[in-house]
Amino acid sequence: MERTNAGRLVLAATPLGDARDASARLRETLATADVIAAEDTRRLRHLASALDVTVTGKVISHYDAVEAARMPGLLDAVRSGSTVLVVSDAGMPAVSDPGYRLVAAAAAEDLPVTCLPGPSAVTTALVLSGLPCDRFCFEGFAPRKGGERRAWLGTLLTESRAVVFFESPRRLADTLADAVTVLGGERPAAVCRELTKTYEEVKRGTLASLLEWAGSVEVRGEITVVLAGAAPSEAPTVESLVGAVQERVADGERLKDAVSAVATAAGVPKRDLYNATLTAT
């Protein structure tokens, strides 16, 4: 049972780019919250100004590096009866942004927690992708390192749901190249850039065509990628997985370990994949 004498912890979605997407409840809570924990305090001030809202509560930074240190003070504020509002730079806090640890800690103490729903890059990209999205999974940010990224993509070989993930514009071409190698160039996908902003752009096509585009332009802005789910007929063959194994070996991984990782992710016999790789070498 929630504590009746406590304040409340409020997580609020903020606009992805267009301030007009802010909800009335967000405006009200920005103006009345006792404490606002913001991923970037400057961006919070800019948002409040764009919404013509006067922030009266205490504003503190709440980004990844300080999240753990801020938690005791924020929980104390809720315990003492204050309304603590948590916002990220854009979209929903706790979704690849700070917030979930604070929610978990508050819930463990039965402190009141609520959410002001609103903009989400994940669902916006899904809708704009033009791909079947009645079932989907969210993978956060793609791994930075090539070997880890290819291993991660290997786990998506037979994923039948649409897959949404975030990527840096600087790494987009490399990630698409790895996706072509691991998933095949014909897998449909969409790259969504600067959602809801002035220069919003959605590129749809096969992974191969998207790679060609990304390699020919200077991609900027916030990037969300949507991959179509694998069709049943797209179940990988042992031969189609050899390239993924060779890529991992080229990155310094032992052949045995590379075969094991790729075979396990794809659901094929390790021995068959090992032999096929040796034959192709």
**pLDDT class of 233 with cuts at 50, 70, 90:** low
Percent of the chain's residues with pLDDT above 70: 97
What is d(CA 129, CA 225) in angstroms, rounded to the nearest whole number? 9
138, 122 in Cβ contact below 8 A? Answer: yes
- What is the pLDDT, as a whole number, of residue 235? 61
Q: Indicate the average pLDDT of the chain.
A: 93
pLDDT, average across residues 162-167: 98
- Token reading at 23: 């909800």
pLDDT digits (tens, 9 = 90+) for 88-111: 999 999 998 999 999 999 999 999
86 beta partners: 11, 37
- What is the pLDDT, as a whole number, of residue 3? 58
Judged against a pLDDT cut of 80, whether residue 5 lies above it is answered with: no
What is d(CA 210, CA 32) in angstroms, rounded to the nearest whole number? 45
Handedness of CA 269, 274, 279, 281 (dihedral sign): positive
Q: Check whether residue 133 and residue 213 sit in a common domain.
A: yes
Residue 66: phi and psi, rounded to 5, are -115, 0
Q: Check whether residue 252 and residue 275 sit in a common domain.
A: yes
pLDDT, average across residues 151-180: 95
pLDDT, average across residues 75-87: 98
- What is the pLDDT, as a whole number, of residue 1? 52
- Total tally of structural domains belonging to the chain: 3
Q: Check whether residue 132 and residue 103 sit in a common domain.
A: no
**pLDDT class of 264 with cuts at 50, 70, 90:** confident
pLDDT, average across residues 170-187: 95
- What is the pLDDT, as a whole number, of residue 231? 80
195, 222 in Cβ contact below 8 A? Answer: yes
Residue 58 identity (one-letter amino acid): K
Q: Check whether residue 133 and residue 77 sit in a common domain.
A: no
Q: Check whether residue 230 and residue 250 sit in a common domain.
A: no
269-278: long-range pairs with CB below 8 Å, 24+: 269/238, 272/238, 273/238, 273/241, 273/242, 273/245, 276/238, 276/239, 276/241, 276/242, 277/242, 277/245, 277/246
Please measure the distance between the N-terminal and C-terminal CA atoms of the chain and give it in whole angstroms.
Answer: 63
**pLDDT class of 244 with cuts at 50, 70, 90:** confident
The closest alpha carbon to 87, from 42, 153, 54, belongs to 42
Q: Check whether residue 112 and residue 88 sit in a common domain.
A: yes
Assess if residue 2 is contained within a domain: no
For residue 229, what are the domain limits? 122-234
State CA 17 to chain mean position distance. Answer: 17
Q: Which of 103, 119, 135 is the last residue of a domain?
A: 119
Sheet arrangement for strand 83-87: 58-61, 35-38, 83-87, 8-12, 113-116
Q: Which of 199, 217, 234 is the last residue of a domain?
A: 234
Strands (E), the chain: 8-12, 35-38, 58-61, 83-87, 113-116, 136-141, 162-167, 188-193, 201-206, 223-227
How many other C-beta atoms are found inside a 10 Å radius of the C-beta of residue 203?
16
pLDDT, average across residues 48-65: 97
**pLDDT class of 224 with cuts at 50, 70, 90:** very high
Q: Check whether residue 263 and residue 222 sit in a common domain.
A: no
Percent of the chain's residues with pLDDT above 90: 81
- What is the pLDDT, as a whole number, of residue 157? 87
